[in-house]
Structure 1
Amino acid sequence: MATIDRHATALALAHALSAAERGLAVIPLSRAKLPALRSPHHEDPPPAPCHGACGRPGHGVYDASTDPLRIRELFGAAPWATGYGIACGLPPHHLIGIDLDTKSGADASAALRELALRHLFTIPETVVVTTPSGGRHIWLAGPPDAVIPNSAGRLAPGIDIRGAGGYLVGPGSRTEHGVYGTVPGTAHLPPAPCPPALLRLLTPPPRARHAAPAPTDRPPAPQGQGLVQFVLAAHEGQRNTRLFWAACRAYENGIGETLAPQLVDAALHVGLTDREAHSTIASAARLTGHARGGHDLA
């Protein structure tokens, strides 16, 4: 049975209600940073998942609300809650969370700085939440028409993204490892708009239309040609971003070294210089942990 700390629950509820006043939809969390309410369908046979259509609480982020009465009901049903989660991707802020993790051993802050230098963006003044482990959550606002997926380490080692369907642990939450806070001077800032260059890195590429099956006498397309085509479709202003994204995916799938020459050719075709192409691919290899000592793609 969960331990009840009424003082911690009261503080979490107060923080959650304050967040809701700012337009942030919230849910109660346990000390383990998980949704505090168990699914009402945990003993049901496995049909299609319910996202709250049944009207009962216990659907995780799909319970998130800005309605004070609803929030009090959720916390009343979970008196063991000591924190709250903030749902991402919902209006009016369409919140995006940049989670700079320290537990992976990677220097996530340095990786973010390198991305910012390479893609020419700066992180604006915005809410920055501190975690008990020494990490940070950067809050950014996304455009209404963008659906940012959740990811772990895709952008760079140690950088996790919280987008649609995900949530961030709210400041003031108490967990098994400590209390979440805010960097001084940022608590009352609104989530700043996500820089366009960073938004392009966070947005998955459009899915290619499935072509008709190749004739049986034609050999299958070499692995990674979709990534090459993705670079070839780049327009001015997105060439470097597309090349970097494609190279990261190639290295993550174990074909980076094999595909690099074709990615370079594609980058040259769309207007990048040889030096820019090799430098971008080398950066992707480094950020995905595939760089080799003394190895230089240039």
Structure 2
Amino acid sequence: MAISSRQTATLALAHALSAAEHGLPVIPLSPTKLPALRSPHHDDVPGTPRCRGECGRPGHGVHDATTDPARVRALFAAAPWATGYGIACGRPPYHLIGVDLDTKGETDAGAALRELALRHLFTLPPTVTVLTPSGGRHLWLSGPADVVVPNSASRLAPGIDIRGTGGYLVGPGSVTAHGAYRLAEGTGRLPPARCPNALLALIAPPRHTRPAPGGHPAGGAGLIHFVLAAHEGQRNTRLFWAACRAYENGLGDALAEPLVTAAVRTGLTPEEARATVASAARLTTPA
């Protein structure tokens, strides 16, 4: 069956309406996975202020995303060639974060994510998982309302893309030029799981934190306590994790020596501790 058939378009609308009913803002997508509606401003004079839907006309990509069934129907009526739908990320109620795991060529993004989880001490809970036509997976996570997660491609590791605010995920049931997106068995009834704090720290911009009066920078005491609580076999891993968080949040220079001191108290040598902190600094400092 051709992907532009009337039946495929009808199914796309049905899936989009179901997603909207569950609180997920949606837009129609073309077989290329791009927004199906052309911008109404493509002929505007260069330099015209960018419109994000304030004009009231459709064609603003993810800014058109809605949960209103009447508006969803209107968007799909304006794009009868749509064969799928996109789900806007970063919007209430879930503030969706998409973890896109690729499997092309020699890339094994799933293994890379497991390695990150081990290194940074987090566990991904069961959550909605969408299987892509290429053999990849989209993991849906719920983020906090006050954190803006940017979109990124292979920044965490090769083959791991993040869909955040301003981005969208191809919804299950969509049909593209390369095949259909479908829910992994057993995940369709799950809500998007809460994004682990350690993963959120890796994908969200660092928060600039003021020093606490008379002590370490705010948040620094918690990182030091985290290192001090390490048992044998955890010392280096905990120190590395804490140092990464410190540098990502602009506290690395202030906390480097206190973290080394804490690690030495747990049994590491000063040389081992400083080498681990230096490794964290290299990993988290942009080239």
TM-score by length of 2: 0.78
For the residue of structure 1 that corresponds to 2:81, the secondary structure is coil
Q: Distance in 2 between matches of 1:185 and 1:107?
A: 23
Distance 1:23 1:197 in 2: 26
> Which has the higher mean CA deviation after the structures are superposed, 169-178 or 271-280?
271-280
- Show the counterpart of 1:41: 41
Separation (CA, whole Å) in 2 of partners of 1:199 and 1:276: 25
Does residue 232 of structure 2 align to residue 236 of structure 1?
Answer: no
Distance in 2 between residues matched to 1:284 and 1:58, nearest whole Å: 44
Between the aligned partners of 1:56 and 1:151, the Cα distance in structure 2 is 29
- Cα deviation digits, residues 38-71 of structure 1 (max 9, x gap): 0000111132211000000000000000000000
Asked if the contact 1:232–1:266 (Cα under 8 Å) also holds between the matched residues in 2, the reply is no
Q: Give the secondary-structure state (helix, strand or coil) at the position aligned to 2:76.
A: helix
SS of residue paired to 1:54: coil
**Larger mean Cα displacement after TM superposition, 38-47 or 236-245:** 236-245
> Matched residue of 1:270: which SS?
helix
Give the length in aligned residue pairs.
252
Q: 1:19 maps to what in 2?
A: 19
1:107-147 CA-to-partner distances (Å, cap 9, x unmatched) read 21111101111111111111000000111000000111111
Within-5 A mapping of 1:34-113: 34-46=34-46, 47-103=48-104, 105-113=106-114
Taking a change above 3 Å as real, the CA distance of residues 82 and 145 of structure 1, as seen in their structure-2 partners, is: same
Change (3 A) 1:9 1:283: farther
> Which 10-residue stretch deviates more, 263-272 or 175-184?
263-272
Q: Find the aligned partners of 1:119 and 1:72 in 2 and give their Cα distance.
A: 44
Seen in structure 2, the aligned counterparts of structure 1 residues 267 and 207 have a Cα distance that, compared at 3 Å, is closer
Offset at residue 73 of structure 1 (A): 0.3
The 8 Å contact of residues 240 and 276 in structure 2, kept in 1 or not, is answered as no
- Offset of residue 5 of structure 1: 1.7
Letter in 1 for 2:176: T
Moved more, 101-110 or 120-129: 101-110
Q: CA deviation at 1:281?
A: 6.4
Q: Deviations over 1:177-218 (max 9, x none)?
A: 100011100012110111111111121113699xxxxxxxxx
Aligned-residue CA RMSD in angstroms? Answer: 3.1
CA contact (8 A) 2:209 2:218 kept: no
Residue 4 of structure 1: how far off its partner (Å): 3.7
Which residue of structure 1 aligns with residue 267 of structure 2?
none
Once the two structures are superposed, the pairs formed by residues 1-298 of structure 1 within 5 Å of their partners are: 4-46=4-46, 47-103=48-104, 105-206=106-207, 234-237=220-223, 240-241=240-241, 243-244=243-244, 267-271=256-260, 273=263, 274-275=271-272, 278=275
Q: C-alpha displacement at 1:275, in angstroms? A: 3.8
Farther-moved stretch of structure 1 (268-277 vs 45-54): 268-277
Residues 243, 281 of structure 2: 8 Å contact kept = no
Segments of structure 2 that go 5 or more residues without pairing to the other structure are: 211-216, 227-238, 264-270
- Counterparts in 2 of 1:128 and 1:44: CA distance versus 1, 3 Å: same
TM-score computed with the length of structure 1 as normaliser = 0.75
Question: Percent identical across equivalent pairs?
Answer: 60
Runs of 4+ with deviation above 6 angstroms: 245-248, 263-266, 283-287
Indicate if the aligned counterparts of 2:256 and 2:277 stay in contact, CA closer than 8 A.
no
Partner letter of residue 131 of structure 1?
T
